Amino acid sequence: MATRKPLPPGEQFFTPGATGVRKAVEQRSAVPITFLFTQVPRWVAPALLVILLLAGFVLDSWLGGVAVLPVAAFIGWLAYLSWPSLGVGGKLLRVVMLTFLILVAADRFGAF
């Protein structure tokens, strides 16, 4: 049986004392994060997100909105997971970024 490498001192993978929804999301997110960082080349996730975001900016139709939605979902997921450890500036930046992406998607779907 292989031994697991311990986390560095002072760092924890899960939010200490998390309960309910946060604990469930963190535990369910552990598998995709592990897969993403161990089985897929490091450049794939950022490249895919950039391609989708550029497609969302270029395509002025509902296809652009569909391209932006996975980017917004990924940013929202990361924002949710990192929220407890962020300061006010980090939280504000994530809210602004998510709002911008949602507005871009809504524009492409013809809401404006």
Q: Cβ distance 25 to 79 under 8 Å?
A: no
pLDDT, residue 72, reads 97
Amino acid 10: pLDDT: 53
- In the prediction, which pLDDT does 22 show? 78
Please give the average pLDDT of every successive group of 10 residues along the chain, which has 112 residues: 57 66 78 77 91 96 96 92 88 96 95 82
Phi, psi values for residue 68, rounded to 5°: -80, -30
User: So what's the pLDDT on residue 1?
Assistant: 53
**pLDDT score at 29:** 78
pLDDT of residue 70: 95
Terminal-residue alpha carbon distance, the chain:
58
Report pTM.
0.76
Per-residue model confidence (pLDDT) at position 11 = 54
What pLDDT score was predicted for residue 61?
Answer: 94
